[in-house]
Amino acid sequence: MKNPLVSVIIPTYNRSALIGESLKSALGQSYKNIEIIVVDDGSTDNTRDVVAAFAPAVEYIYKPNSGPAATRNVGIAKARGEFVAFLDSDDLWEPAKIEKQLQCFEENPQAAMVSSNFRYIDGKGRIIKDPGSEPGYQPSDFIIKDMLRVRFPFATPAFLIKKEIFAKIGTFNERLRISEDLDLLIRIGTNYQVGYVDEVLVSVRMHDSHSMRETPRYQIWLNSVTVYRSHEKLISRVVDRPQQFFANFYALAGNSALLSGKRLKAFELY
């Protein structure tokens, strides 16, 4: 692998106030052989004008609103790179993100994907939690085992994926409006090894309009177990008795509902 092209796909929707920072963090990578593709999912603000200021270094594609899965898939179809990375239009990368992940691929050529640790920041870029996941994590042969134990550090902007993998396991499931990234990761994690860089290379922004803030925590756990259960046959190939892990997700959802004062919902989930 010598100086491969990396395609950076940035899906966006009404993020004109933040996408400029995200673009600067992508353009500021120490690894320079990248293409940046912004796919606008029907924004009604001045996102187009903000992105235009970065031309010709950034390609801009506008499409009618259809959700994050379809938006990322448009970028995948357009990507020319050997590797594909996803950067949400409100998140940030450290300058060495791509470089360090490509080094990990060199050390783990059998891997289909390389991820990294991350931090949470607020709307003004102040650190909320650093790192986002406990340091020292090393993936097992199939990360699905770690995912079911809620150990795998999960942040889509931390992923760097070999593009050829999409032809084998498919792209994002456009029927899903939430947890479409988890669905993709399950298909990767049940079939391939995943590399990991145990460094904080990504800042995930949490603000009032972030989907994680808008969605109740118990619903996030419930979405997760629904997606996991839809792939039960796949998961059973690499994990014995996955139902015990599904039960744990229902319990976590119930705990979250109880903490938020929704006792009836908690009992239902339990």
Q: pLDDT tens digit string along 194-223?
A: 999 999 999 999 876 555 555 788 998 999
Range 48-72 average pLDDT: 97
pLDDT tens by residue, 63-113 = 999 999 999 999 999 999 999 999 999 999 999 999 999 999 999 999 999
- The first and second tokens of residue 177, run together, are 């409006």
The count of other CB atoms within 10 Å of the CB of residue 259 is 11
Alpha-carbon distance 154 to 156, whole Å?
A: 7
Range 158-187 average pLDDT: 95
174 — pLDDT class (breaks 50, 70, 90)? very high
pLDDT confidence of residue 212: 53
Looking up tokens 């990396």, which residue turns up?
Answer: 6
132 — pLDDT class (breaks 50, 70, 90)? confident
pLDDT confidence of residue 211: 54
Q: Given phi > 0 = left and psi -120 to 50 = alpha, else beta, which region is 193? A: beta
24, 90 Cβ separation under 8 angstroms? no
139 — pLDDT class (breaks 50, 70, 90)? confident
pLDDT tens by residue, 82-96 = 999 999 999 999 999
The count of other CB atoms within 10 Å of the CB of residue 251 is 14
pLDDT tens by residue, 220-243 = 899 999 999 999 999 999 899 999
Alpha-carbon distance 36 to 22, whole Å?
A: 11
Q: Measuring CA to CA, how many Å separate 56 from each of 35, 36, 49, 157?
A: 10, 10, 13, 23
- The first and second tokens of residue 176, run together, are 């899903």
Angle (deg, nearest 10), helices 180-189 and 68-78: 50
Range 39-51 average pLDDT: 97
| Burial of residue 97 (number of CB atoms within 10 Å: 0-12, 13-18, 19+) | buried
Range 149-153 average pLDDT: 89
Q: Between residues 143 and 41, which one has the greater pLDDT?
A: 41
172 — pLDDT class (breaks 50, 70, 90)? very high
Q: Is 66 helix (H, G, I), strand (E, B) or coil?
A: coil
Sign (positive/negative) of CA torsion 208, 212, 217, 220?
positive
- The first and second tokens of residue 245, run together, are 């892990």
163, 80 Cβ separation under 8 angstroms? no
pLDDT tens by residue, 7-35 = 999 999 999 999 999 999 999 999 999 99
Q: Which of 245, 202, 250 is nearest to 90 (CA)?
A: 202
